[in-house]
Chain A
Amino acid sequence: MADLRANLAGITSPNPFWLASAPPTNSGYQIMKAFDAGWGGAVWKTMGVPVVNVSSRYGAVNYRDTRMMGFNNIELITDRPLSDNLREIEEVKKYFPDHAVIASLMVQTREEWHQIIKDVENAGADGIELNFGCPHGMCERGMGSAVGQEPNVLKTITMWAKEVAQVPVIVKLTPNITDITEPARAAAAGGADAISLINTVQSIVNVDLDTFAPNPSVDGKSTHGGYCGPAVKPIALNMVKSCAQDRDVNIPISGIGGIETWRDATEHMLLGASNVQVCTAAMHYGFGIVREMKAGLEDYMDSKGFETLYDLIGKSVPKVESWEHLNLNYKIIAEIDNTKCIGCQLCYIACEDGAHQAIGLSEINGERTPHIIEENCVGCNLCSLVCPVEECITMVDVTKNKTHESWSDYMNNGKAPTTFDDDRAGGKHHWVPEPKDALKKRK
């Protein structure tokens, strides 16, 4: 059976599922409950000089019947006194010596960093996470993402932390930056043992159309918040991949962002994360959600014959290339399985209005099943993505030229279009209807 034990830069835990620094890790009570429910580690709610929070703190994006597809908050770091947190860290470690307890920290001066690191180490923390990610409230005070967005400052503070830290130091990155590898490299250069990403994405989730104030509203006004939950997973995955691929980063990654199921977690790890952290899913469903993640990962590993997490961590990293290396000779087209089609015609209108007019309707005998016009299909996937029926539209390989030719090969071999009306344009011989055909059906 699969061995779920995880190791992030020397910090071990019984499984790779950690709670991210956030309300679920606000207290020893919650963390003990979480460990008891099966979580492998927890990053304590960021400690520092305690704050005062506003009331009305969260907003959400509901997508149709799915609640909290995206989640946003305007909370700050912990509002609890440090001594209370330290006492509770000590107690949690007494009960759960094999679980990972990480202290997330955010302070300002070198002296403060040194002092608080010693404090949490004395309390028994297995690692330290430097919160350079919080995108609201704290950055205006020169902390959080204000540091995360300044690679030099980030590097300096990381060095301060490393001056005293006995346990591994993780630097938590903000996604509110153009190129994530810059702060990631700065963290590595500053001596960080690992990075964790992503923190929340700056956001406004919605506006109340009657009061005109965005949510969450604090006495009629709002402020931008930090976005997380399932909606941010694609952003997180891309950033995790970028850091995993960068030779100058080259330190372990803790993947965070939009993880709710075993699949999300596995994707993070395939793209290079050594373990994962979860916040929104635990806030939505409680700690019990981990039982699905653990069981799912275990079943997946067993089905693939993976014995340890190392068999899968980073397995997808070499599968991501820059665009110019992708094979231009590879060709797929859509195929509709008539027996499965339910006649919604969403694929038809998607391709007709949104892609390449490669799907035709044949309304014979009230038959609503569309058909693919093969010579027009560019293999974009759109129809198969909008189709509500599993496996009804599949993409089939029709590659004729079996040699691998990429854009860079095209450039080297003179096959790439270079002028505006170049004959070598990819869509040159592609049929499109005449503009006026658009009005044909008008009565």
Chain B
Amino acid sequence: MSDFKKPQTTAEYEANFPQLKPLMDANMAYYESSRCLFCYDAPCIKACPTSIDIPLFIKQINTENLTGAAKTIYSANFFGHTCGKVCPTEVLCEGACVYNEQDVKPIEIGRLQSHATTDAIRKDKSIFKKADANGKSVAVVGAGPGGIACASELATLGYQVDIFEAKAKPSGLAMHGTAPYKIANQDVMDEVAYLQRQLGFKVIYNKNIDTRRELNTLESKYDAIFLGIGLGDTRSTGTPGEQLENCIGATEFIEQLKLDPLSVTVGKKVVVIGGGNTAMDAASESARLGADVTLVYRRSKEAKGAYEFEYDLAKSVGVKALFSTNVTEIIGDQKVAQLKCIKTQSTDGKLENVDGSEFTIECDFLIRATGQIKQKDFLDLAGLQYDNRGKVKVDSESGQCSNPIYFAGGDAVNGGAEVVNACAEGKSAAQGIHSYIINK
């Protein structure tokens, strides 16, 4: 039995998905910021992919200079607010805090960060330095964190930037993917709207760039093109029965949940296949929708890709797990009814099914969190090189692709990481674009 009832109203939905990192009030922020030691060469900065000067912004919060704190954060990371809430801080900045060495609770860096940025967003503070328009323009494909970070940085450098986005809303998986208990959609939207108001890049929505003609136009009209196209749909594992009803890819499931939560119906017995971050999120989410959830992962518990705290979070809402288990067939008439499984074992790093260990489990809703496909079709269309795993090949510093007018960053390049990585890569690619254009 699940601890949760299926939410029927927005209020019930919000009650089932309370924020893990709610905003701090001024009092909490003051106490928490007072604890920061202002370490030299601080480990938290080194652990942040965008290298935010964390001790500085915390000291600025502590000295009631919230504007300065927001400046410090945004000068390093354009998704400062979103990152404060969705970053896996336990393995990034907060995981590096020296207090951990003494078994003292690390500083709540993520929440302090959101505290400072909220103030800037709500008050629409002008904190960005912007160069005069330089008459050059750049096209960005994809309004995810990578694309928006790149556009924002370019705007500060004086470029006119147009972003082309396939979906109706900005911010890519930062909104369509991140778990509802990490951040509310509105928070992500507000941050993007703030950046757009302050920096003035343009976003053209519902505009999927998928023809050679469109690319030709971009190539001739703009001085450079940044690709922040992320990854594609959930990858098929070729398991028989995948086409059955009530069998859905995790990112598609989560997107539907994020866009229209009350329309989502999961069954009574949900199985999530996978052991990564997305699998844990999907399991937690379906449990909070009232389902009895079992996670099935073909490798061992230790080998799972998800962070320990994500697994703990899933367990805390009643998710059960079957490790070292392969789903070999999905059985059902129209709809998923049962899963045929087999135990696995790893010998010399090779995963093998254990003969004779077959069993079946009941399941009326199957979520496949088996990774996302890479955007090879698009890259072929653009004539860009990618590696054997489908990741765009770029110069690691400038983000420049095999065709010099193209630059890329984010999931499409790193194969799927976090929002903060896409932000870092988008921003540094903007610098790469800048030096490419001025040296052209």
CB of B388 within 8 Å of the partner chain: no
CB of A325 within 8 Å of the partner chain: no
Contact across chains for B40 and A295 when beta carbons are under 8 A apart: no
Q: How far is the CB of B434 from chain A (nearest CB, A)?
A: 22
- Given A292-B60, A299-B71, the answer on whether A389 and B65 have CB atoms closer than 8 Å is no
Q: Which residue of A lies closest to B40 (CB)?
A: A286
Choose from B27, B30, B72 the contact partner of A295 (Cβ within 8 Å).
B72
In whole angstroms, how far apart are the Cα atoms of A261 and B63 in the complex?
7
Contact across chains for A262 and B56 when beta carbons are under 8 A apart: no
Chain A residues near B67: list those with CB within 8 A. 299, 303
CB of B415 within 8 Å of the partner chain: no
Contact across chains for A296 and B60 when beta carbons are under 8 A apart: yes
Contact across chains for A292 and B27 when beta carbons are under 8 A apart: no
Interface residue total, chain B, C-beta cutoff 8 A? 20
In whole angstroms, how far apart are the Cα atoms of A298 and B71 in the complex?
12
Q: Which residue of B lies closest to A299 (CB)?
A: B68
Q: Which residue of B lies closest to A302 (CB)?
A: B67
Contact across chains for B38 and A289 when beta carbons are under 8 A apart: yes
CB of B59 within 8 Å of the partner chain: yes
Contact across chains for A300 and B65 when beta carbons are under 8 A apart: yes
- Given A263-B63, A285-B38, A285-B40, the answer on whether A295 and B71 have CB atoms closer than 8 Å is yes
In whole angstroms, how far apart are the Cα atoms of A286 and B42 in the complex?
12
In whole angstroms, how far apart are the Cα atoms of A391 and B68 in the complex?
22
Chain B residues near A66: list those with CB within 8 A. 34
In whole angstroms, how far apart are the Cα atoms of A432 and B38 in the complex?
48
Q: Which of A285-343 contact B (CB under 8 A)?
A: 285-286, 288-289, 291-292, 295-296, 298-300, 303
Chain A residues near B63: list those with CB within 8 A. 261-263, 292, 296
- Given A261-B59, A292-B56, A389-B27, the answer on whether A299 and B65 have CB atoms closer than 8 Å is yes
Contact across chains for B56 and A390 when beta carbons are under 8 A apart: no
Contact across chains for A262 and B65 when beta carbons are under 8 A apart: yes
Q: How far is the CB of B32 from chain A (nearest CB, A)?
A: 13
Chain B residues near A285: list those with CB within 8 A. 38, 40
CB of A375 within 8 Å of the partner chain: no
In whole angstroms, how far apart are the Cα atoms of A66 and B37 in the complex?
9
- Given A263-B64, A285-B40, the answer on whether A65 and B35 have CB atoms closer than 8 Å is yes
Q: Which residue of A lies closest to B53 (CB)?
A: A291
CB of B26 within 8 Å of the partner chain: yes
In whole angstroms, how far apart are the Cα atoms of A388 and B35 in the complex?
16
User: Interface digits, A268-295 against B, CB 8 Å rule (1 contact, 0 not)?
Assistant: 0000000000000000011011011001
With most chain B CB atoms within 10 A of its CB, the pick from A286, A291, A298 is: A291
Chain A residues near B26: list those with CB within 8 A. 390-391
Q: How far is the CB of A388 from chain B (nearest CB, A)?
A: 8
In whole angstroms, how far apart are the Cα atoms of A299 and B60 in the complex?
11
Contact across chains for B59 and A292 when beta carbons are under 8 A apart: yes
Q: How far is the CB of B98 from chain A (nearest CB, A)?
A: 14
Chain B residues near A388: list those with CB within 8 A. 27
Contact across chains for A295 and B56 when beta carbons are under 8 A apart: yes
Q: How far is the CB of B394 from chain A (nearest CB, A)?
A: 32
Chain B residues near A288: list those with CB within 8 A. 40
Chain A facing B: main interface SS: helix
Q: How far is the CB of A393 from chain B (nearest CB, A)?
A: 13
User: Interface digits, B283-312 against A, CB 8 Å rule (1 contact, 0 not)?
Assistant: 000000000000000000000000000000
User: Interface digits, B54-66 against A, CB 8 Å rule (1 contact, 0 not)?
Assistant: 0010011011110
Choose from B30, B38, B40, B59 the contact partner of A390 (Cβ within 8 Å).
B30
In whole angstroms, how far apart are the Cα atoms of A296 and B72 in the complex?
11
Chain A residues near B30: list those with CB within 8 A. 390
Q: How far is the CB of B8 from chain A (nearest CB, A)?
A: 31
Q: How far is the CB of A195 from chain B (nearest CB, A)?
A: 27
User: Interface digits, A228-263 against B, CB 8 Å rule (1 contact, 0 not)?
Assistant: 000000000000000000000000000000000111
In whole angstroms, how far apart are the Cα atoms of A298 and B72 in the complex?
13
Contact across chains for A296 and B65 when beta carbons are under 8 A apart: yes
In whole angstroms, how far apart are the Cα atoms of A388 and B25 in the complex?
13
In whole angstroms, how far apart are the Cα atoms of A292 and B26 in the complex?
19
Q: How far is the CB of B53 from chain A (nearest CB, A)?
A: 8
In whole angstroms, how far apart are the Cα atoms of A117 and B75 in the complex?
45
Q: Which residue of B lies closest to A388 (CB)?
A: B27
Chain A residues near B34: list those with CB within 8 A. 66
Q: Which of A383-422 contact B (CB under 8 A)?
A: 388-391
In whole angstroms, how far apart are the Cα atoms of A388 and B26 in the complex?
12
User: Interface digits, A58-100 against B, CB 8 Å rule (1 contact, 0 not)?
Assistant: 0000000110000000000000000000000000000000000
In whole angstroms, how far apart are the Cα atoms of A289 and B53 in the complex?
12
Contact across chains for B68 and A295 when beta carbons are under 8 A apart: yes
Q: Which residue of B lies closest to A281 (CB)?
A: B38
Chain B residues near A263: list those with CB within 8 A. 63-64
User: Interface digits, B22-55 against A, CB 8 Å rule (1 contact, 0 not)?
Assistant: 0001110010001100101000000000000100
In whole angstroms, how far apart are the Cα atoms of A391 and B71 in the complex?
26
Choose from B35, B40, B56, B62 the contact partner of A291 (Cβ within 8 Å).
B56
Chain B residues near A295: list those with CB within 8 A. 56, 60, 65, 68, 71-72
Chain B residues near A286: list those with CB within 8 A. 40
Q: How far is the CB of A396 from chain B (nearest CB, A)?
A: 20
Chain B residues near A391: list those with CB within 8 A. 26
With most chain B CB atoms within 10 A of its CB, the pick from A296, A300, A391 is: A296
Q: Which of B53-95 contact A (CB under 8 A)?
A: 53, 56, 59-60, 62-65, 67-68, 71-72
Contact across chains for B68 and A296 when beta carbons are under 8 A apart: yes
Q: How far is the CB of A319 from chain B (nearest CB, A)?
A: 20
In whole angstroms, how far apart are the Cα atoms of A38 and B239 in the complex?
62
Chain B residues near A390: list those with CB within 8 A. 25-27, 30
Chain B residues near A299: list those with CB within 8 A. 65, 67-68, 71
Chain B residues near A300: list those with CB within 8 A. 65
Q: How far is the CB of A94 from chain B (nearest CB, A)?
A: 28
Chain A residues near B53: list those with CB within 8 A. 291
Q: How far is the CB of A212 from chain B (nearest CB, A)?
A: 31
In whole angstroms, how far apart are the Cα atoms of A156 and B34 in the complex?
47
Chain A residues near B35: list those with CB within 8 A. 65
Q: Which residue of B lies closest to A298 (CB)?
A: B68
User: Interface digits, B127-167 against A, CB 8 Å rule (1 contact, 0 not)?
Assistant: 00000000000000000000000000000000000000000
Chain B residues near A291: list those with CB within 8 A. 53, 56
In whole angstroms, how far apart are the Cα atoms of A116 and B30 in the complex?
49
In whole angstroms, how far apart are the Cα atoms of A66 and B38 in the complex?
12
Q: How far is the CB of A268 from chain B (nearest CB, A)?
A: 14
Q: How far is the CB of A220 from chain B (nearest CB, A)?
A: 31
In whole angstroms, how far apart are the Cα atoms of A391 and B72 in the complex?
26
Chain B residues near A261: list those with CB within 8 A. 59, 62-63
In whole angstroms, how far apart are the Cα atoms of A291 and B63 in the complex?
13
24 A-B pairs with CB atoms under 8 Å apart are: A66-B34, A261-B62, A262-B63, A262-B65, A263-B63, A263-B64, A285-B38, A285-B40, A286-B40, A292-B56, A295-B56, A295-B60, A295-B71, A296-B63, A296-B65, A298-B68, A299-B65, A299-B67, A300-B65, A389-B27, A390-B26, A390-B27, A390-B30, A391-B26
Smallest CB-CB A-B distances: 10 pairs: A390-B27, A299-B68, A261-B63, A296-B65, A295-B68, A292-B59, A390-B26, A299-B67, A285-B38, A263-B63
Beyond A295-B60, A303-B67: 19 further Cβ-contacts under 8 Å?
A66-B34, A261-B59, A261-B63, A263-B63, A263-B64, A285-B40, A288-B40, A291-B53, A291-B56, A292-B59, A292-B68, A295-B68, A295-B72, A296-B60, A299-B68, A300-B65, A389-B27, A390-B25, A391-B26
